[in-house]
Amino acid sequence: MRIGTGYDVHRLVENRALILGGVKIEHPRGLLGHSDADVLVHAIMDALLGALALGDIGKHFPDSDEAYKGCDSLVLLKKVGELVNEKGYRINNIDSTIIAQAPKLRPYMEMMAENIGRTLDLSRDRVSVKATTEEGLGFTGSQEGIAANAVVSLVKGEIIK
């Protein structure tokens, strides 16, 4: 068994869509980044890559490469999932948390988990998406940005659906 952790953060800015877990969320600001800046998916990708000691998403999808400009992070997640499978591992489960003061994310979390599960060919009960605030503290509490963290476990062998 392998365990990996991932963390990502992006600044909230005007004139950008807010995408989390592949879901477009109604909000006056979105996350700044080279791709769609989906912090949740980025944290999950880093956790998967870290579990196999394969570096991070910057190594595999550098922001200096125009091919990834504005890219849908779920497309990148699919590539990371394929890399995990090529190495002979299968995703056992994903546990993730989004840290954001606003907007309220509960109405979107099920759809986020479904998107991630579908992208990685995992059953819904293997993907956990949670959200929390920092009670007005720090950069997420002051709504300067949104962060996410993820933990994944991988097993050697057959695909677990």
**Of the candidates 43, 50, 6, 41, the residue with the CA atom closest to the CA atom of residue 120:** 41
Tell me which H or E stretch contains 17.
Answer: none
Confidence of residue 158 (pLDDT cuts 50, 70, 90): low
- Residue ranges for the known binding site for a divalent metal cation are 8, 10, 42
Residue 151: per-residue pLDDT? 98
Model-level pTM greater than 0.85?
Answer: yes
**DSSP three-state, residue 141:** helix
- Residue 40 in tokens: 């949740």
Confidence of residue 98 (pLDDT cuts 50, 70, 90): very high
**Of the candidates 56, 49, 8, 2, the residue with the CA atom closest to the CA atom of residue 19:** 8
pLDDT in tens, 11-50: 999 999 999 999 999 999 999 998 999 999 999 999 999 9
- Residue 7 in tokens: 């963390």
Residue 68: pLDDT over 90: no
When the pLDDT of each residue in the chain is averaged and rounded to a whole number, the result is 94
The residue assigned the tokens 């503290």 is 137
d(CA 115, CA 130): 14
Bridge-based pairing of strands 30-31 and 2-13 is: antiparallel
Average pLDDT for residues 67-94, to the nearest whole number? 93
- Residue ranges for the known binding site are 8-10, 34-35, 42, 56-58, 61-65, 132-135, 139
Confidence of residue 66 (pLDDT cuts 50, 70, 90): confident
